[in-house]
Amino acid sequence: ELADTKYNLSKEIDGLKKELDDARRHRDEAEQNLSKAMAELNAKVAFLEGEKARALQLLQEERFKDLNNADDARKQANGASEALEKEIANHAETRHRAKVREEQLEMTNLAASQALAQADKRAQDERKLANDARAKAMDLEAKYNRL
């Protein structure tokens, strides 16, 4: 029965370790995906900021060239500016979602670590109980043999 308990605890510990490894792997993958997404979003923001600057420059040039076309250029610049603002808002939302996901992964990792620590504690307690039972059995056997 003790061997079964040890075996079951060992299986449980192995399962918890696998879950912890899986959680860590998922967290690492999520961090890599987040880093990649952040780099892509930062590149898009930089591109859009460049486009906005170019559009504003174009607007100024158009004002000097032809006042009739200045209104169209202004609309284009405003459109580019609005697109940039939307992309920046999307970028901020993505950062927020990534932060929330990172916190969720940290909580999952913490829970797995706690479960593993509890399993280790139970295994230690079971080993102590088994050792105590073995010592008591040996003591009783010695007393019986003396009789």
Residue-wise pLDDT tens digits, 47-64: 999 998 999 998 888 877
Give 129 or 109, the one with higher predicted confidence: 129
Q: Write the DSSP assignment of 2-57 as a string of letters.
A: HHHHHHHHHHHHHHHHHHHHHHHHHHHHHHHHHHHHHHHHHHHHHHHHHHHHHHHH
Amino acid residing at 118: Q
Tell me how far apart the alpha carbons of residues 89 and 110 are, in angstroms, rounded to a whole number: 31
| Token output for 106 | 């940290």
pLDDT for 1 equals 79
Q: Which residues, 6+ apart, have CB-to-CB distance to 58 below 8 Å? A: 73, 76, 77
pTM more than 0.85: no
Average pLDDT over residues 60-86: 78
Average pLDDT over residues 111-129: 86
Average pLDDT over residues 29-40: 92
Q: Which residues, 6+ apart, have CB-to-CB distance to 44 below 8 Å? A: 87, 91
Three-state DSSP at 147 gives: coil
Length of the chain in terms of residues written: 147
pLDDT for 54 equals 93
